[in-house]
Structure 1
Amino acid sequence: MKIVEAKVVVTSPGRNFVTLKLTTDDGLTGLGDATLNGRELAVVSYLEDHVAPLLTGLDPHRIEDTWQYLYRGAYWRRGPVTMAAVAAVDTALWDIKAKAAGMPLYQLLGGASRDRIRAYGHANGATVPELMDSVRARLEEGYQAVRIQTGIPGLKAVYGVHAGVAHQQQRPLVEDWDTEAYLRHLPTVFEAVREEFGPELPLLHDAHHRLTPTQAARLGRDLEPYRPFWLEDCTPAENQEAFRQVRAATTTPLAVGEVFNSVHDYQTLITERLIDYVRSAVTHFGGITPLKKLFDFAALYQIRTATHGPEDISPVGLAAALHLDLAVHNFGIQEYSGHTTLTGEVFRHAYTFADGHLHPGEQPGLGVELDEALAARHPYEQAYLPVNRLQDGSLHDW
């Protein structure tokens, strides 16, 4: 068996997605997600101009060797553009291998370690009453764990609180930020949600890299009475040692990693047990091959998985995550914010969501098929993620 075609498909059924489709000489196809939100076309060029010419003629069954070829062979390693492109190839190869075996992918990863995959949804509101309504809506949809994000008095636009998709525009949306106002407000939000929904509902929160280690330590400590499931991305983790200060100050569980694209980004965090959950996505970490290795590494230190699953991870990337979730023993929880109905039509998928849990389905491969004709009717739209500015106008971490 040989790869005879590598095709990149860009479509925007509500937001942009980049998909690699590999085809073999015996007609098998495999899909990989290469979406890098706000920098999609950089990955398209990387794939079309630099990677696709290397793939034709290769044996699709040699997944590990191909991963090493694309990672080590380029010399310029890591980075989100490179690793999204490598991820797309790796995922597509696993899709082909599982289809050739006539099995759902999770069976090739060791088989199921559980019957279903617990998911958490997103609840948000500009005000606390709006947040309460959003939590109720998630619970009515079946979620049994909820991430809560809310507006902050005095601020106009804050991460995690928006109406619909606010990312399709010619220039980045500018949000505003006041750390002290946030640190004062958030514990009152947790208190209100706990009073309304009780102590048993798992509540998660994303600080989105906006705090210093000292501020993160303070927040983690202030949230302890409300028993959050985790505090996510509490401080920029390029400086892994910063988490020592946070860890020493609070027992609030910590999750990090959605912007990571290499195991080296995690090494100190894992070996010193400075975090409780690894958050990387198949799409941005180089694929299924390295992410499975990361999960096994984390398991040695009693750290669990929590794969990144926002709207800009396509159904291809989400399906790949679900197969891993079902197979690995140290699974923790899966982010699932869902996709638009149109996205589900472009990417027909076997995975299901019911009673707050996901399952990848039993179709051979990933269980996702791309409707290329429908995808072509929804071309790329220029889009950016927002940026964040402090009250004095200086740029801050978004």
Structure 2
Amino acid sequence: MIIESAEVIVTSPGRNFVTLRVVTDDGLTGLGDATLNGRELAVAAYLRDHVVPLLAGRDAHAIEDTWQTLYRSAYWRRGPVTMTALAAVDVALWDLKAQRAGLPLYQLLGGASRTGLLAYGHASGRDRSELFDSIRHHRERGFAAVRIQTAVPGITRQYGIAAQAGAGSRYDYEPARRTARPAEEDWDTRAYLRHLPGVIEAVRAEFGPELPLLHDVHHRLTPIQAARLGRELEPYDLFWLEDCTPAENQEALRLVRSHTTTPLAIGEVFNSIVDYQHLIAEQLIDYVRSSVTHAGGITGLRRILDYAGMYQIKSGMHGPTDVSPVGMAAALHLGLAIHNFGIQEYMPHAEVTGEVFDTSFTFADGLLHPGERPGLGVTLDVAAAAKFAYEPAYLPLARLRDGTVHDW
């Protein structure tokens, strides 16, 4: 099975996606997700100008050799652009191999380790009443776990609160705005730390002890602030506290861990096993948040998760709508196969996205399943994709009350 051609398709059905489409000499087509939210064209150019010319004539079965070739021959290793491009090639080759075998991809990864993947949805609100309504809505849709994001009094524009983004916004699904410059949001750490524990307490009192609750700090706190928050939330039995502090400083997680038993999830901005080296070996986290799309594909992320499994650390793969249906399908196949699966983030794509990407994965009774089609189970309609032109979009930035740029 020889690679005959490869092309990069940029389309924007509801939001921008970058897809690598690889065709073999026996007529099979494999897909890989190359979407890097807010910097999509950087990956598209990397693929078109530097990777695609290397693919024609290669054995499509030689996944490991191709992975190592693209990783090592570039010399400039790792980083989000490189690893997202590499992931797209890797996933497309796994898609091809599974199609050629006539099997859903998870079967080539060792077969199913479970009947489905526990998924969590994203509930938010400007006040407790609105938040409670959002939680009820998600439970009615079948979610058995929910992430809780709440507005903070005095902060008018804040990450994760759909209603604060304005009429007609899909902010709960897509924070990147189609504007000439990044939108600016507000942040006040002390107000947040005062407000959040009471909200989580109220949610737990309203919905009981069984519902898994998650919360995303989104890199906003210093290590000592994160330690304080984790400790204050211990009585409410969070499933996890996500990205409590920027994890590039791995020393920070030692301090947090020493002060709280609240489970910690880290890594949606990480893209290689090197990023996790000390966090996993020292058991400073409980869940790995990287996505297949941004961590070197199935080959790259499985290495991370196998390493994590040695320390009883589980998967919590990133799954927002800036991971395309191709990337989501890859995550589901991997999650179904690995032993140390934890939970899967799931944000359903806009209906219009389905005009371009046809998928076989399902969501029922709180569980996701990749389906039984050969390969990933995703097809891309090239003609439909051409109808949705790329539109520049930027993720927001946050400023403190005095105007200082803060972590978003």
Partners of 2:126 and 2:15 lie apart in 1 by 23
2:377 paired residue number: 367
Instruction: Please point out which of 375, 385, 402 is paired with 1:392.
Output: 402
Aligned position for 2:308: 298
Tell me the equivalent position of 2:16: 16
Q: CA deviation at 1:301?
A: 0.3
Q: CA deviation at 1:272?
A: 0.5
Paired AA for residue 276 in structure 1: D
Q: Is the partner of 2:368 in helix, strand or coil?
A: strand
**Cα shift at 1:60:** 0.5
Per-residue deviation at 1:2?
A: 1.1
Q: Does 1:78 align with 2:78?
A: yes
2:189 aligned residue (173, 176, 179): 179
The question of 1:25 aligning with 2:35 is answered no
Structure 2 unpaired stretches of 5+: 163-168
Q: Which residue of 180, 191, 203 corresponds with 1:170?
A: 180
Query: In the aligned structure 2, how far is the partner of 1:263 from the partner of 1:210?
Result: 24
The alpha-carbon deviation at position 345 of structure 1 amounts to: 2.4
Aligned to 2:141: 141
Q: Deviations over 1:267-301 (max 9, x none)?
A: 11100001000010000001000111111110000
Query: Counterpart of 2:293 in 1: which secondary structure?
Result: helix
Q: Distance in 2 between matches of 1:6 and 1:384?
A: 28
Identity level (%): 70
The equivalent of 1:228 in structure 2 is 238
> d(CA) in 2 for partners of 1:39 and 1:239?
24
Write the distance in 1 (CA, Å) between the matches of 2:137 and 2:285.
Answer: 30
User: Which residue does the alignment assign to 1:117?
Assistant: 117
Structure 1 residue 303: deviation in Å?
Answer: 0.4
Output the CA distance in 2 between the equivalents of 1:129 and 1:375: 40
CA shift, 1:339, in A, is: 0.5
State how 1:313-352 maps to structure 2 within 5 Å: 313-352=323-362
> What residue number does 2:166 align with?
none
Q: Which residue identity lines up with residue 288 of structure 1 in the other structure?
A: I
Does residue 2 (structure 1) correspond to residue 10 (structure 2)? The answer is no
Q: Quote the Cα distance in structure 1 between the aligned partners of 2:105 and 2:264.
A: 30
Query: In the aligned structure 2, how far is the partner of 1:338 from the partner of 1:168?
Result: 20
CA distance in 2, matches of 1:129, 1:12: 34
Alignment correspondent of 1:264: 274
Query: Which of 203, 224, 232 is the matching residue for 1:193?
Result: 203
- Secondary structure of 1:160 counterpart: coil
Question: Can you give the 5+ residue segments of structure 1 that lack an aligned partner in the other structure?
Answer: none
- CA distance, structure 2, for counterparts of residue 48 and residue 127 of structure 1: 47
In structure 1, C-alpha distance between the alignment counterparts of 2:391 and 2:402, rounded to whole Å: 32
Cα distance, 1:168 vs. partner? Answer: 2.0
The superposition leaves residues 131-156 of structure 1 with CA deviations (integer Å, 9 ceiling, x where unpaired) of 11110110000000000001110011
Question: Do 1:232 and 1:256's aligned partners in 2 also have CA atoms closer than 8 Å?
Answer: yes
Shift, 1:370, TM fit: 0.3
Per the alignment, residue 210 of structure 1 pairs with 220
Q: Counterparts of 1:169 and 1:356 in 2: how far apart (Å)?
A: 35
- Residue equivalent to 1:245: 255
2:95 equivalent to 1:95: yes
SS at match of 1:373: helix
Aligned AA (1:267): Q
Letter in 1 for 2:187: W
Deviation of the 1:170 alpha carbon: 1.7
Q: CA deviation at 1:107?
A: 0.4
Deviates more, 1:164-173 or 1:320-329: 164-173
Inter-partner Cα distance in structure 1 for 2:72 and 2:54: 14
Q: How much does 1:242 deviate?
A: 0.9
Judge conservation of contact 1:15–1:168 (CA < 8 Å) in 2: no
Question: What secondary structure is seen at the aligned counterpart in 2 of 1:284?
Answer: coil
- Structure 2 distance, partners of 1:345, 1:189, is 39
- Rounded to whole Å, the distance in 2 between the matches of 1:397 and 1:362 is 41
Secondary structure of the residue that 2:245 maps to in structure 1? coil
Q: Does 1:275 align with 2:285?
A: yes
Which sits farther off after the overlay, 121-130 or 87-96? 121-130
Q: Report what 2:165 is aligned to.
A: none
Q: Distance in 2 between matches of 1:172 and 1:354?
A: 36
Secondary structure of 1:114's aligned partner? coil
Following the alignment from structure 1 to structure 2, what is the Cα–Cα distance between the partners of residues 13 and 252? 38
* 1:41 aligned onto 2:47: no
Work out the CA distance in 2 between the residues paired with 1:127 and 1:394. 27
If the length of structure 1 is used for normalisation, what is the TM-score?
0.99
- More divergent stretch after superposition (138-147 vs 343-352): 343-352
Is 1:203–1:230's contact at 8 Å kept on the other side of the alignment?
yes
AA of the residue aligned to 2:324: S
SS in 2 for 1:282: coil
Amino acid at match of 2:266: V
C-alpha distance in structure 2 between counterparts of 1:60 and 1:189, whole Å: 51
Q: CA deviation at 1:199?
A: 1.1
Q: Give the distance between the partners of 1:345 and 1:215, measured in 2 at CA.
A: 45
**Structure 2 match to 1:54:** 54
